[in-house]
């Protein structure tokens, strides 16, 4: 069900996939995030078959509110709480700025840690 915003000139319909694309890009660019993860095994398996640009992001509408769930993998050695807070704030800022609609919740789920290879 697309989110609808009424204007004097007509209605604007925003699909959850559009919101998820903005949120995905904002999350990947956040400090300490090395990638997005699957919500469950089946989502991960389907992403291997078909590459989804919104992989790791779910958007839900609850009455007039937008709820976003993001599943991330964090760089080992960073402060996980600080990275998760940063991702939530960054996603909220970018989505609200792009759409002009308020976001009720951004839930960040840390699915794993990844150790980067040291630079030689």
Could you tell me the domains of the chain?
Answer: 52-120 (3.30.70)
Q: What is the pLDDT of residue 102?
A: 86
Tens digits of residue pLDDT in 6-52: 778 888 788 888 899 999 999 999 999 988 887 655 554 455 455 56
Tens digits of residue pLDDT in 95-120: 999 988 889 999 999 988 888 766 65
Alpha carbon 46 to chain centroid distance? 18
CB-based contact 70:107 (threshold 8 Å): yes
Tens digits of residue pLDDT in 83-101: 999 999 999 999 999 988 8
More confident residue, 81 or 2: 81
């Amino acid at each position: 069900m697309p989110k609808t915003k009424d204007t004097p000139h007509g209605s604007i319909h925003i699909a959850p996939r559009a919101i998820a694309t903005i949120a995905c890009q904002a999350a990947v660019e956040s400090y300490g995030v090395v990638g997005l993860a699957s919500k469950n095994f089946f989502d991960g398996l389907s992403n291997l078959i078909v590459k989804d640009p919104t992989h790791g992001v779910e958007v839900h509408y609850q009455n007039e509110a937008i709820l976003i769930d993001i599943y991330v993998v964090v760089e080992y050695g960073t402060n996980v709480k600080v990275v998760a807070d940063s991702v939530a704030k960054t996603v909220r800022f970018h989505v609200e700025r792009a759409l002009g609609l308020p976001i009720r919740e951004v839930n960040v789920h840390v699915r794993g840690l990844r150790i980067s290879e040291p630079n030689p």
